[in-house]
Amino acid sequence: MIKFFRKIRQQLITENKFSKYIIYAIGEIVLVVVGILIALSINNWNTNKNLRVLEKELLFDIRENLNASVTNLESSISYNKITLINYEKILSHVKEDLPYNNSLDSAFSYISYWSDPNFTYTAYETLKSKGLDIIQNDSLKNTITEIYEQYFPFVIGELKGEWELHQSLVLPFVAKNILYINTEIARPNNYDSLKSNDEFHNIMGLKIITRKNSIQFTEMTKDKVSSLIVEIDIELEKNKEG
């Protein structure tokens, strides 16, 4: 093809048909430009197609990670609600000056335990490395970012605060006043003295408040993540139809 155009160009020059040569040269430039534009258009189409495939893969992976996080959140909420019930049971017994009974053995064992949810960041970190703008739906992109950059860190921060409370106040008190028979049975060294122990009342009150707060924030996060999963499903379905 190049030889063909070169032959025509050479013939026009040889025959001294300058005006026709100019027209031909302009036409050749136009053809080259059109060819370049077509090539760029095809390249952009292929690039956009590859980005959409990558977007779909990343959304699928994020959805799987979020599903795992919801399962962990539900498990954590369920366990922590059990601990809260036992904390309130203990505090109710000592405040009402009720006698000790064997059911408190299990209740006291929960004082040192709670459940932390695990969050999976793998797919989100991959998305950040590839570029958040791969997600075309701005609302969806913002919600994904909000979950990973605000909600998850907030829940982790709440639980960290509870851990610090446990380390500074609860653990020293438990070490002095409560005997753990095993992980499921614990008994106070002197139950009657706990009834009038202000420090114990304050510790249990703080644990109840912090546990209620952590459960509340964890439930709120679980609901937000569940809604996000629905949004991702809708987006994936829309992309499939497209």
- pLDDT for residue 39: 57
Count of C-beta atoms within a 10 Å radius of residue 229: 16
Q: What is the pLDDT of residue 21?
A: 47
For residue 155, the tally of other CB atoms under 10 A from its CB is 21
Res 161: pLDDT: 83
Give the per-residue pLDDT at 25.
55
Please count the structural domains in the chain. Answer: 1
pLDDT, position 139: 95
Tokens coding 123 = 């797919």
Q: What is the model's pLDDT at position 165?
A: 86
Handedness of CA 78, 79, 82, 83 (dihedral sign): negative
In order of 40, 47, 136, the CA distances from 44 in angstroms are 6, 5, 16
For residue 66, the enclosing domain spans 2-241
Q: Give dist(CA 142, CA 215) in Å, integer.
A: 25
Residues of the chain with confidence (pLDDT) below 70: 1-49, 51, 240-242
Which 8-state DSSP code applies to residue 187?
E
- Kindly report whether the global pTM for this prediction surpasses the value 0.75: yes
